[in-house]
């Protein structure tokens, strides 16, 4: 397994989380949607706008030199906000991004597990996420206890029960 540590996300991580939204949008091999294009999408922008709001929690993976390499965080959304993984008021949506060099090395799994512990400690009973069909994160999410609750438009909304 690669050498990395996980730390809590802090208010100053907002710019890095924006980079991770871009990584998540560019999960396909050879995909390149530039940051301005990704963040022009209101839903993508909503995942990081105003970070860190009171209910926001996250974790950041850093390499041996202390450079941020990946992050997972959650936010609460309302039905009107149109988040991709919205299932119900009070159920936070998980967002995760991993730099390509660090994919398939256990970083995403470690982040998901850490964030599930954070959510459980914060009193949440479930976590939700949205993943495109074909994304390798789909299998990871299933293996970490997420189940598909809705499938639409080439995406699955998945939920994990935490208690």
pLDDT digits 0-9 by tens, 3-56: 999 999 999 999 999 999 998 888 777 778 878 788 888 888 989 999 999 999
Give whole-number Cα distances, 75 to 28, 33, 34, 84, 129, in Å: 24, 23, 23, 12, 11
The overall average pLDDT reported for the chain is 91
What per-residue confidence (pLDDT) applies to 1?
Answer: 47
For residue 60, pLDDT beyond 90? yes
What per-residue confidence (pLDDT) applies to 120?
Answer: 97
What per-residue confidence (pLDDT) applies to 12?
Answer: 96
| pLDDT average, residue stretch 146-155 | 92
Q: What is the CATH number of the domain that holds 87?
A: 3.40.630.30
- Residue 46 is part of which domain span? 4-161
Q: Which residue do the tokens 């479930």 mark?
A: 126
The size of the chain, in residues, is 163
pLDDT digits 0-9 by tens, 127-145: 999 998 988 889 999 999 9
| pLDDT average, residue stretch 77-81 | 86
DSSP the chain: ---EEEEE--GGGHHHHHHHHHHHHT-STT----HHHHHHSHHHHHTTTTSS-TT-EEEEEEETTS-EEEEEEEE---GGG--TT--STT-PEEEEEE-GGGTTTTHHHHHHHHHHHHHHHTT-SEEEEEEETT-HHHHHHHHTT-EEEEEETTEEEEEEE--
How many domains, in total, are found in the chain? Answer: 1
């Amino acid at each position: 397994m690669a050498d990395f540590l996980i730390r809590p996300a802090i208010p100053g991580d907002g710019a890095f989380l924006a980079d991770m939204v871009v990584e998540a949008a560019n999960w396909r091999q050879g995909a390149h949607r530039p940051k301005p294009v990704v963040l022009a999408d209101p839903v993508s922008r909503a995942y990081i706008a105003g970070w860190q709001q009171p209910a926001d929690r996250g974790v950041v993976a850093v390499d041996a030199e202390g450079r941020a390499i990946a992050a997972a965080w959650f936010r609460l959304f309302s039905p009107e906000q149109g988040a991709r993984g919205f299932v119900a008021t009070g159920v936070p949506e998980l967002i995760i991004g991993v730099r390509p060099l660090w994919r398939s090395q256990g970083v995403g799994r470690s982040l998901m597990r850490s964030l599930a512990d954070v959510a459980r400690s914060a009193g949440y009973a479930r976590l939700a996420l949205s993943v495109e069909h074909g994304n390798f994160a789909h299998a990871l999410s299933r293996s970490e206890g997420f189940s598909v609750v809705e499938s639409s438009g080439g995406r699955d909304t998945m939920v994990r029960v935490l208690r």
